[in-house]
Structures are given as structure tokens and as C-alpha cells.
Amino acid sequence: MSEDRVREALRAVPRVQFLPRAQRAHADEDRALPLWHGSTGSQPSTVEAMLRLLDVPPGASVLDVGAGSGWTTALLAWLVGPDGDVLGLELDPELAVWGAANLAEYLGTPAGAGRATPRARLEIAPPGTVGRSRPGGWDRILVSAAARTLPDELVGMLADPGRLVLPIRSTMHLLVVADGQVSDTTHGSYAFVPLR
């Protein structure tokens, strides 16, 4: 995916719309911002790096684990366009409801309605689960929380070919499934809240 396409998505989906009112004055700062219950909104440069690794094509199906405020789900909806399918999952019920409302508000705007799809949604993740299976698998999976080890169940949810981007402890990993083989490469160090 071209770097310009990711930057275009970041311009088209303003972070400020996905922050609590108390944090909106800091929306343009390149740092993680607190949401609540220990959750944070990821810093824009980290989100940009993850989206580049994910390489989301138009029309893709994407699972967004740890969707939080809904910002990454909205960015992914913009990237997949009207023929794509994006499911954001968030474990914290209060955060998930707020994130879903943020996403719905964005999708209802001319910027959101023009590029995104009604098949973008954010839901509460059932406790004790990581992700959600989909017939044929997900083309892309983005995880915005740090796992202790690689969650094999997420790898099993990928389509072939497919890509999974997630932090494991403090290291960003890109897993690529192609022709039945899985490759794993690392791409720098980042700080994330733990994946629960």
C-alpha cells in the first residue's frame, strides 16, 4: 500500500472525533491519549506504521481487535471502501458502546458516508475470547493491544493470503499467511496496553 493512501486515510478520519472532550485539544499531538479504565487512544505515528504493515486493499475484510474509541475501525473502513467489511471488537463494554457511537457518527458524516461502508461496525467482545471467526477467514487482522505470546487462534482466523499486525510484549509483529505458510517479521518497539 502506498504511504500516501494511509496518510490520506489519516487526514480523512480526524482523530479528534474519537477522543473524550477533555483530550480533544491534544488530538494533533503524536502521543497516546487516555480514554478510561486504563485504555488509551494510540498515537498517530504508531497507527500509521501499523496500517502500512497491514497493507489494506479496497474490498478487504478486516478484524480490528481492541478497537477502543473506534478510530482504527473508521480508518480501516475508509481503506476498505464500500465493498469491504470491518468488524471492530472491544472487551470493555462501556468503551465499546462509546466507540460504536463514535464510529456511527463518523459514518453518518459526508466524509464517512462517501468512503466507508455500513458493514463497518464495533461490537463488545465476549470475555475470554480473542477475535471472531469469519467464513473464509479475515484478509487482515489488526490488534491494538500487546499480547504476551502470539495468539494462535488469531492466526487461525486469517484467510490465505492474509496479514496480521500485532504487538507481542513491546515488539511489533507482521504475520503473513501465503500458500499455507506463515512468516513472522518484527518491526520496532512500541508501548501498548495489555491484550486481555
Q: Lowest-pLDDT range, 31-35, 149-153, 161-165, 170-174? A: 31-35
pLDDT for the residue numbered 78: 94
pTM above 0.85, yes or no: yes
The answer to whether residue 196 scores a pLDDT higher than 90 is no
Q: Lowest-pLDDT range, 53-57, 115-119, 143-147? A: 115-119
The answer to whether residue 159 scores a pLDDT higher than 80 is yes
pLDDT for the residue numbered 116: 47
pLDDT for the residue numbered 166: 97
Is residue 20 within 8 A of residue 27, CB to CB? The reply is: no
Which 3-state string (H, E, C) describes the chain?
A: CCHHHHHHHHHHCCHHHHCCHHHHHHCCCCCCEECCCCCEECCHHHHHHHHHHHCCCCCCEEEEECCCCCHHHHHHHHHHHHHCEEEEEECCHHHHHHHHHHHHHHHCCHHHHHHCCCCEEEEECCCCCCCCCCCCCEEEEEECCEECCCCHHHHHCEEEEEEEEEEECCEEEEEEEECCEEEEEEEEECCCCECC
The answer to whether residue 112 scores a pLDDT higher than 80 is no
pLDDT bin (cut points 50, 70, 90) of residue 138 is: very high
pLDDT for the residue numbered 1: 46
The answer to whether residue 190 scores a pLDDT higher than 80 is yes
42 is catalytic: yes
Cα separation of the two ends of the chain = 30
Amino acid at position 138, single letter: W
Summary mean pLDDT of the chain: 91
Catalytic residue, from 39, 42, 61, 69: name it. 42
Grid coordinates of 127: 470475555
The answer to whether residue 111 scores a pLDDT higher than 80 is no
pLDDT for the residue numbered 147: 95
